Amino acid sequence: MNTATVVFLVIGGAGALVLALSLIGAEILHFGHVGLPDFFSVEAVAGFLGALGFAGAITNELGGAVAVSATVGVLAALPTAYLAVRLSRAARDMHTDATPTRADLIGTVGVVVTPITPTGYGEVRIRLGGQPIKLYAKADRPLPAGAEIFVIEAASETSVVVEAVHPLT
């Protein structure tokens, strides 16, 4: 491995390191690009350096001259930097659902997992946003495990008032 290959690998490694640091939240690496185009973002610089270094090292090892290796590195780095900007912007601007609140519990259906006693709480499992949630539950009458329930009130974030979907006889 010659000196040029090592230099290209160091450049590629620096790009990978910058990218890794930016992914774990090292905000100090932001260049304060207020008013600057996105191609000066940390992601763009990391993608550019990584592709330049690694493509240049590969080309140099395959027998290319240093100038040819650098040209191939730049040709690989430009679209990589562009894709890094596009992907980071897409991830940053991705729409997410609102955090479920207590009001979202009302109207959900579920099943009793721990029997609800006449004087205390039992436990129910409901699905909220596709995720199973286990809550403490109270009802106006006892409900056995396995009974289907409907949430009529959210007493708190962790407890609900329920009634049976199918009246028990």
Q: Which of 92, 112, 141 is the last residue of a domain?
A: 92
| Cα 120 to Cα 161: distance, rounded to the nearest angstrom | 11
The per-residue pLDDT for 101 is 86
Return the higher-pLDDT residue of 26 and 92.
92
Same domain flag for 21 and 66: yes
CATH of the domain at 155: 2.40.50.140
| Predicted pLDDT of residue 52 | 93
Number of domain units in the chain: 2
Whether residue 12 lies inside any domain: the answer is: yes
Domain that holds residue 157: 102-164
pLDDT of residue 28: 53
Instruction: Assess if residue 70 is contained within a domain.
Output: yes
Between residues 39 and 136, which one has the greater pLDDT?
Answer: 136
Tokens of 159: 């407890």
In a domain, 97, yes or no: no
Residue 90 has a pLDDT of 84
Q: Residue 131 domain-assigned?
A: yes
* Within-domain flag for 41: yes
CA 26 from centre of chain: 17
Average pLDDT over residues 131-160: 93
Looking at the structure, tell me whether residues 86 and 113 fall in a common domain.
no
pLDDT at residue 8, as a whole number: 92
The per-residue pLDDT of the chain, averaged, comes to 86
Q: Are residues 88 and 10 in the same domain?
A: yes
Where does the pLDDT of residue 134 fall: very low under 50, low under 70, confident under 90, or very high at 90 and above?
A: very high
CA distances, 25 to each of 29, 89, 140 (Å): 9, 16, 50
Residue 118 in domain = yes
Per the model's pLDDT, the better-predicted residue between 168 and 131 turns out to be 131
Q: Are residues 150 and 132 in the same domain?
A: yes
Q: Taking CA 75 as the corner, what is the angle to CA 22 and CA 14, rounded to the nearest 5 degrees?
A: 30
CA distance 76 to 54: 9
Domain contains 127:
yes
How confident is the model at residue 130, as a pLDDT? 84
Asked whether 11 and 69 are in contact (CB, 8 A), the reply is no
Among 60, 92, 124, where does a domain finish?
92
Beta partners for residue 137, in sequence order? 122, 160
- The predicted-structure confidence for 43-100, as pLDDT tens digits, reads as follows 888 889 999 999 999 999 998 789 999 999 999 999 998 888 888 788 778 888 788 8
CB-CB neighbours of 45 under 10 Å: 20
Q: Residue 135: pLDDT band by 50, 70, 90 thresholds?
A: very high
When pLDDT is averaged across residues 146-165 and rounded to a whole number, the result is 93
Domain boundary among 34, 69, 92: 92
